[in-house]
């Protein structure tokens, strides 16, 4: 069929990436075009009459905030938009594929991971916490826990001579560590005691003066993150040094919780701060709950249908993504008090979704990891399919992290921590 016999639509193109601006005039395009043809058209418009320009840019196209993933006429039909109307189409530079960078071997399952500037923390089922450089160099292997480590988080950044971080474990404790970067030595400065079962999640507030923990004892606990806190008391503890496998008896400050909140019927799998006083928790009891830490009360409960394994909150868009055992990822806006609570559902994984993490610099992007051994990169504007799949793990993924904008991290039961390099085209060049 010739192009003349194909119905055409009038389309006007615009972009928030100023370096790709095009004239604000309608163009007649075949109704059956897809992203490849539209991308070629935009490149031709940008080149104009200058045939010497050889480079071309891959673009993605949005109609009413959703990516075009089918021919244009099919998309318009699905959305109930008449092809007789003037169609406004936004275009953005297509996100590149993440590139595998490194695979860091541990002695057992890698259960948790978090990056911070130039360093990566990982927790392992061999009872140790490990410190790595972002280039993959091992810095320290830290014994101290007496059971598998289930959660880690940075308490202070790694830009000073010393920094602090927290680890939680099956041994029912959270340990606060202080790392001297110049000497590359680490010391346990506080042992936080109060949970009756495994500590599975921990989150530090934005002010870095408090943190919360969730446990298999169903309890949410609030702790002070200050170097010295009321109620601290010294106790002698037998530990191994990080550099030599020798037993040392030293004094460690024991810290007790400021507050304990109950409500969940099963273990708490994930927790995040939403504001100075608000905390969100996810649980194996199929619920998501909001808590006011200043009033010590539960303020909201969202009932799910399956076990919730992880959640991630984005300060950029104020929304939460939830990872579940039913293979789905759900997007929830905690500011909505009525109507549809779940704003979107993302499905592509073939196993339990064990981890999710928002991009720290792009309000539309997040990653997910699953028992199907695959990590996926998603854009909220492409609900039907992920942007990219990242394979390589040979066993189930237990944790993912996107704290460092350029690195996508995943830890798995194959004893590997995998690092993917990523450059966010839309964020780095503006929107």
CATH number at residue 31: 3.10.20.90
Task: Tell me the C-alpha distance between 108 and 57, whole Å.
Answer: 43
Say whether both 308 and 422 belong to one domain: yes
Contact (CB, 8 A) for 370 and 382: no
Average pLDDT over residues 417-429: 83
Least confident span in 95-109, 235-249, 299-313: 235-249
Say whether both 225 and 247 belong to one domain: yes
- Of the residues 93, 124, 143, the one at which a domain ends: 93
Contact (CB, 8 A) for 254 and 232: yes
Task: Tell me the C-alpha distance between 223 and 212, whole Å.
Answer: 6
Residue 431, pLDDT above cutoff 70: no
Say whether both 305 and 180 belong to one domain: yes
- Of the residues 58, 93, 128, the one at which a domain ends: 93
Residue 175, pLDDT above cutoff 50: yes
Output the pLDDT for position 4: 61
The secondary element (H helix, E strand) that includes residue 428 is helix 425-428
CATH number at residue 231: 2.130.10.10
Residue 338, pLDDT above cutoff 80: no
Residue 419, pLDDT above cutoff 90: yes
Q: Take residue 351 and report the two structure tokens written for it.
A: 């196993």
Say whether both 86 and 104 belong to one domain: no
Contact (CB, 8 A) for 198 and 145: no
Over its C-alpha atoms, the chain yields an Rg (Å, rounded) of 24
- Per-residue pLDDT band for 196 (boundaries 50, 70, 90) equals very high
Output the pLDDT for position 159: 67
Task: Tell me the C-alpha distance between 390 and 72, whole Å.
Answer: 28
Output the pLDDT for position 244: 45
Proportion of the chain above pLDDT 90, given as a percent: 80
Q: Take residue 236 and report the two structure tokens written for it.
A: 């002698």
Say whether both 53 and 178 belong to one domain: no
Say whether both 103 and 89 belong to one domain: no
Output the pLDDT for position 243: 45
- Per-residue pLDDT band for 83 (boundaries 50, 70, 90) equals confident
pLDDT tens per residue across span 372-402: 999 999 999 998 899 999 999 999 999 999 9
The chain-wide mean pLDDT, for the chain, equals 91
Query: Which has more confidence, 156 or 32?
Result: 32
- Per-residue pLDDT band for 49 (boundaries 50, 70, 90) equals low
Output the pLDDT for position 234: 74
- Per-residue pLDDT band for 258 (boundaries 50, 70, 90) equals very high
**DSSP readout, 8-61?**
EEEEEEE-S-GGG---S--EEEETT--HHHHHHHHHHHHHTT-TT------EEE
Say whether both 275 and 308 belong to one domain: yes
Say whether both 264 and 169 belong to one domain: yes
Proportion of the chain above pLDDT 70, given as a percent: 92
For residue 376, which of 396, 402, 406, 348 has the smallest C-alpha distance?
348
**Model confidence, pTM:** 0.91
Q: What are the start-end ranges of the E strands in 242-336? A: 247-255, 259-261, 268-273, 278-283, 287-292, 297-303, 308-314, 319-324, 328-332
Domain coverage including residue 172: 99-428
pLDDT tens per residue across span 277-310: 999 999 999 999 999 999 999 999 999 889 999 9
Residues facing 148 on adjacent strands: none
Contact (CB, 8 A) for 195 and 213: yes
- Per-residue pLDDT band for 129 (boundaries 50, 70, 90) equals very high
Say whether both 138 and 213 belong to one domain: yes
Say whether both 84 and 157 belong to one domain: no
Q: Which long-range contacts (CB under 8 A, 24 or more apart) does 289-293 make?
A: 289/263, 289/264, 290/334, 291/220, 291/261, 293/210, 293/212, 293/222, 293/259
Task: Tell me the C-alpha distance between 320 and 358, whole Å.
Answer: 9
The total number of structural domains that make up the chain: 2
- Of the residues 70, 93, 116, the one at which a domain ends: 93
Residues facing 358 on adjacent strands: 366
Output the pLDDT for position 218: 98
Say whether both 243 and 295 belong to one domain: yes
Instruction: Return the ∠ at Cα 307 (arms to 301 and 313), rounded to 5°.
Output: 60
Query: Which has more confidence, 401 or 64?
Result: 401
pLDDT tens per residue across span 134-151: 999 999 999 999 999 999
Task: Tell me the C-alpha distance between 132 and 115, whole Å.
Answer: 9
Measured between its terminal Cα atoms, the distance across the chain in Å is 38
Say whether both 362 and 247 belong to one domain: yes
């Amino acid at each position: 069929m010739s192009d003349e016999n194909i119905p055409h639509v009038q389309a006007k193109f615009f972009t928030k990436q100023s370096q790709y601006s095009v004239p604000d005039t309608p163009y007649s395009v075949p109704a059956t075009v897809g992203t490849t043809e539209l991308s070629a058209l935009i490149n031709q418009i940008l080149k104009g009459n200058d045939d010497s320009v050889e480079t071309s840019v891959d673009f993605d196209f949005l109609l009413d905030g959703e990516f075009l993933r089918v021919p244009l006429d099919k998309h318009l039909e699905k959305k109930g938009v008449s092809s007789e109307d003037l169609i406004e189409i936004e275009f953005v530079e297509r996100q590149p594929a993440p590139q595998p960078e490194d695979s860091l071997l541990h002695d057992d399952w890698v259960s948790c991971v978090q990056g911070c500037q130039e360093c990566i923390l990982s927790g392992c089922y061999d009872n140790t916490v490990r410190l790595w450089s972002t280039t993959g160099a091992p810095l320290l292997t830290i014994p101290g826990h007496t059971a598998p480590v289930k959660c880690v988080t940075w308490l202070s950044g790694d830009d000073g001579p010393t920094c602090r971080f927290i680890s939680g474990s099956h041994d029912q404790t959270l340990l606060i560590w202080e790392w001297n970067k110049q000497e590359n030595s680490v010391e346990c400065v506080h042992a936080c005691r109060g949970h009756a079962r495994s500590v599975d999640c921990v989150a530090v507030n934005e002010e870095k003066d408090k943190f919360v923990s969730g446990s298999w004892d169903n309890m949410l606990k609030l702790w002070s993150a200050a170097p010295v806190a009321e109620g601290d008391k010294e106790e002698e503890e037998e530990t191994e040094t990080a550099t030599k496998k020798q037993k040392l008896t030293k004094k460690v400050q024991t810290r007790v919780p400021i507050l304990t909140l109950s409500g969940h019927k099963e273990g708490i799998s994930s927790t995040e701060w939403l504001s100075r006083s608000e905390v969100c928790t996810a649980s194996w009891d199929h619920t998501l709950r909001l808590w006011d830490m200043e009033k010590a009360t539960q303020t909201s409960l969202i009932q799910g249908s399956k076990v919730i394994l992880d959640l991630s909150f984005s300060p950029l868009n104020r929304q939460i993504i939830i990872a579940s055992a039913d293979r789905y990822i759900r997007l929830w806006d905690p500011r909505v008090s009525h109507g549809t609570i779940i704003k979107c559902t993302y499905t592509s994984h073939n196993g339990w979704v064990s981890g999710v993490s928002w991009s720290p610099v792009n309000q539309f992007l997040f990653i997910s990891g699953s028992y199907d051994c695959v990590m996926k990169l998603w854009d909220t504007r492409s609900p039907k399919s992920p942007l990219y799949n990242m394979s390589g793990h040979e066993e189930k993924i237990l944790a993912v992290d996107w704290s460092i904008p350029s690195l996508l991290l995943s830890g798995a039961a194959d004893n590997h921590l995998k690092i993917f390099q990523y450059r966010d085209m839309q964020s780095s060049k503006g929107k």
